[in-house]
Amino acid sequence: MITPGLALDFSHATPAGLYNYYLGGRAWTEADRETAEAVIRISPDVPAMAKENFKFAGRAASWAVAEYGIRQILDIGVGIVDDVPLDSVEICVRNVAPDATVFAFDKDEVVLAHARALRRGYLGVLRGDITDPDGIFGHPELVGRVDLTEPVLIIAAAVLHFVDDPAAVMAGLRERLAPGSVVVLSHATKTRTSQARVSGMTKAYSNASSPIVFREEEDIAALADGWDLLPPGLVDVQLWSGDGAYEGELYETIRVVGMAARVSVGRAA
């Protein structure tokens, strides 16, 4: 159910609608389609990149769950991914840990409505902004159902490039998470890629509900400062693999890099 009294604006493209279009879903608006087609004209490899990002999120999440035995997962910025022909984070996690507790968060009410209507596996589909960790960790439906003294897996895939200060987000997470917790994140980068396509895509997103910020790879790597960066480190999402078993295709232009980082177990809770 959409929050009563909330006015929804379908006149602007949204990150969730655009992503759903790239992934081959059907949950986009005309504004999403127009912006997505403009992006694809500039960067024809964006839909392929989006699919690689989506697969990275599921692969890294299921690896972290299997590797560290974490059973509490928060997928923040979950997107509208129910109708796409690839396994979601939640399905990937359940394939290795059927008993895992998975909560989905997003700040977009339309995303929440889709996730609530179509998904069965979440313990909760909750409104939350990744820039407001108190709102997320203090959400009334989370309190008492997630034990924050135990490790938690946070998935923040393709969400921090919609945020002004991702370092503050990471600091907020690190302060609140128990030792042994893991964050999986991916982020669009302007390093070693076509600047014309980066600026074209940035411009196309400038009228969307959240503009996109391509950051330098070294600034994205610095988000893991104070964390234990897990192998293979920060790499193109197509090359990220916990066990080295996956290698996707590298594309010519738009790059999205991903990593997994852990709160040191040596740190006092």
Ligand X SMILES: C[S@@+](CC[C@H](N)C(=O)[O-])C[C@H]1O[C@@H](n2cnc3c(N)ncnc32)[C@H](O)[C@@H]1O
Residue 157, CA distances (Å) to 1, 50, 61, 153, 210 in order: 25, 11, 10, 12, 15
Q: Are 23 and 47 spatial neighbours (Cβ–Cβ below 8 Å)?
A: yes
Shortest distance (Å) from residue 20 CB to ligand X: 8
Identify which of residues 117 and 265 has a Cβ nearer to ligand X in the complex.
117
Cα gap 249→229, rounded to integer Å: 24
Shortest distance (Å) from residue 24 CB to ligand X: 13
Shortest distance (Å) from residue 185 CB to ligand X: 10
Identify which of residues 119 and 267 has a Cβ nearer to ligand X in the complex.
119
Q: How do beta strands 228-229 and 153-156 pair? A: unpaired
Identify which of residues 26 and 149 has a Cβ nearer to ligand X in the complex.
26
Q: Strand pairing partners for 228?
A: 262
Identify which of residues 127 and 267 has a Cβ nearer to ligand X in the complex.
127
Q: Nearest 5°: phi and psi at 101?
A: -100, 115
Residues recorded for the chain: 269
The helix-helix angle for 89-96 and 46-68 (nearest 10°) equals 30
For 102: left if phi > 0, alpha if psi spans -120 to 50, otherwise beta; the answer is beta
Cα gap 61→66, rounded to integer Å: 9
Identify which of residues 39 and 81 has a Cβ nearer to ligand X in the complex.
81
Which residues of this protein are in contact with ligand X, per CB under 6 A?
Answer: 15-16, 19, 53-54, 57, 76-79, 81, 106-108, 111, 129-131, 157-159, 162-163, 210
Residues 6+ apart with CB under 8 A from 213: 161, 162, 163, 164, 188, 202
Shortest distance (Å) from residue 232 CB to ligand X: 19
Identify which of residues 162 and 227 has a Cβ nearer to ligand X in the complex.
162
Shortest distance (Å) from residue 45 CB to ligand X: 16
Shortest distance (Å) from residue 264 CB to ligand X: 25
